[in-house]
Structures are given as structure tokens and as C-alpha cells.
């Protein structure tokens, strides 16, 4: 089985949109938002990392950097690949990217009811630092704010 983690490219856009649409518990992005993250036209520094097997994109993570803080904006793994370590590998890649770009912290919001994601982030060293009441819609739900320190990039 050939598995690769790499920087996202414009030709990945249809796969990202399909994975987004197939994941009901996430806050969905528009095609324009994904396009801007992939083509570099976003007003903030963003990175998309994809996980693929052979030529099929099976997951991705979208990150941004603002004022020295990295944020995980989206993390999606195709349902058939969940609980196989690929989500954790995407998170580890995100932490590595954050170190390379000089971020001191990496943060994210997650639905309160998304226990699998919360366990994944806890295992990766994230800690709850806050809550945003009714942050999500469809259905309305609180967001749990998570944060962790980013280790310095290896010399």
C-alpha cells in the first residue's frame, strides 16, 4: 500500500470538496475558500496537507498562520480510513509545518460532541483552553478551544 502525505495542489480541489461534503459534522467550506487555500490567494498564510493512497486523496488538513499562531481550520479523513492513524499523522504534519513557519502555538476549535476528534487532539498534546458558546450551526453547538505549544523546528 503506497501512502503519501504531501502539500495540497489545485488538482486536489474536487477531492477536498467531496470529502468535505461527505463529513456532516464539520463546518463546511466553499469552493472559493478551498481554492484560496490551495492557490495561495488567501489573505493569510495557509497550508493544505493531503493524505493519499495511490492517486486517491483520502484526507486533508488545512492550516493557517496569523501573528505567530498556527490554527488547524479543517481536518477530514475519509470514513473508511478513520481510526487508522492517518488523522494523527495529519496532525503531526500540521505541528511540523507550524514549527517550520515559526509558530509558537497551534490551536483549533472542535465541536463539543466530536469525541473522536477530541481524543485525537488530546493524544497529540492539545489541551482545552476555552469554549465558544453556540459557535457552530446546523446543528447549533459549542466549540471547544484547544491549544498546544509547538516545539522548535529541528536545526
> Domain for residue 101, yes or no?
yes
For the full predicted model, state whether its pTM sits above 0.85. Answer: yes
**Exposed, middle or buried: residue 5 (CB in 10 Å: 0-12, 13-18, 19+)?**
middle
Domain count, the chain: 1
Q: Which domain holds residue 64?
A: 3-108
pLDDT of residue 153: 74
> Domain for residue 103, yes or no?
yes
> Domain for residue 134, yes or no?
no
How many helices and strands, by DSSP H and E, does the chain display? Answer: 4, 7
> Domain for residue 94, yes or no?
yes
Mean pLDDT in consecutive groups of 10 residues from the start of the chain, 155 residues: 86 93 75 89 88 90 94 90 86 94 95 92 96 88 95 72
> Domain for residue 140, yes or no?
no
> Domain for residue 133, yes or no?
no
pLDDT of residue 155: 47
pLDDT of residue 83: 80
The CATH number of the domain where 14 resides is what? 3.40.630.30
> Domain for residue 136, yes or no?
no
Give the integer Cα–Cα distance in Å for 122 and 100.
22
Give the integer Cα–Cα distance in Å for 35 and 82.
25
Question: Which of 83, 78, 46 minimizes the C-alpha distance to 62?
Answer: 46
The region, left, alpha or beta by phi > 0 then psi within -120 to 50, assigned to residue 134 is left
Amino acid at each position: 500500500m503506497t501512502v503519501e502525505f504531501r502539500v495540497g495542489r489545485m488538482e486536489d480541489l474536487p477531492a477536498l470538496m467531496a470529502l468535505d461534503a461527505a463529513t456532516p459534522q464539520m463546518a463546511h467550506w466553499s469552493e472559493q475558500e478551498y481554492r484560496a487555500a490551495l492557490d495561495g490567494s488567501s489573505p493569510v498564510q495557509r497550508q493544505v496537507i493531503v493524505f493519499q493512497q495511490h492517486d486517491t486523496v483520502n484526507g486533508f488538513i488545512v492550516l493557517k498562520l496569523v501573528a505567530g499562531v498556527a490554527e488547524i481550520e479543517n481536518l477530514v479523513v475519509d470514513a473508511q480510513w478513520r481510526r487508522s492513524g492517518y488523522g494523527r499523522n495529519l496532525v503531526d504534519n500540521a505541528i511540523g509545518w507550524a514549527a517550520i513557519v515559526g509558530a509558537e502555538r497551534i490551536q483549533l476549535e472542535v465541536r463539543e460532541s466530536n469525541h473522536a476528534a477530541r481524543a485525537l487532539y488530546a493524544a497529540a498534546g492539545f489541551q482545552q483552553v476555552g469554549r465558544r458558546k453556540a459557535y457552530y450551526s446546523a446543528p447549533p453547538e459549542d466549540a471547544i478551544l484547544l491549544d498546544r505549544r509547538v516545539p522548535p523546528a529541528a536545526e
